[in-house]
Amino acid sequence: MIIYHNPRCSKSRQALALLRENGVEPEVIEYLKTPPTKTTLRSLLKKLNLSAHEILRTKEDQYADCNLSPHSTQAELLTAIAANPILLERPIIIKGNRAVIGRPPENVKALL
């Protein structure tokens, strides 16, 4: 399993703890230090079965700074997320061809 993790985020820490409590030691990707590429983001969207806008943190300043909206194209959104990884909803947990957003952390149980 893989977790796109922000150690400063309580929900991300809770999701990681839930994985470990269930005997899973995931590959931890601190996405603020190692931002996902647009190709990786496209793959994540397929595994999540979500649109690019659905994985955005719309209340971050960068959302407005990048002039993003629900009408932005997927290409615009992926470019913005790759350049400003703080925009990525967190945590994202991946197992094989499936993924979930760990908000709430209990969503992780679907992959266990």
Question: What secondary structure does DSSP assign to 38-62, as a single string?
Answer: HHHHHHHHHHHT--GGGGB-TTSHH
In this predicted structure, what is the pLDDT of residue 99? 98
In this predicted structure, what is the pLDDT of residue 68? 97
- 66 falls in which pLDDT band (50, 70, 90)? very high
Q: Domain ranges for the chain, please list them.
A: 2-111
In this predicted structure, what is the pLDDT of residue 106? 92
Catalytic center residues: 9
CATH number for the region 2-111 comes to 3.40.30.10
In this predicted structure, what is the pLDDT of residue 90? 95
Tell if the pTM clears 0.75, that is, is over it: yes
Tens of pLDDT, residues 11-55: 999 999 999 999 999 999 999 999 999 999 999 999 999 999 999
For residues 65-84, average pLDDT: 97
Query: Is the CB of residue 65 less than 8 Å from the CB of residue 86?
Result: no
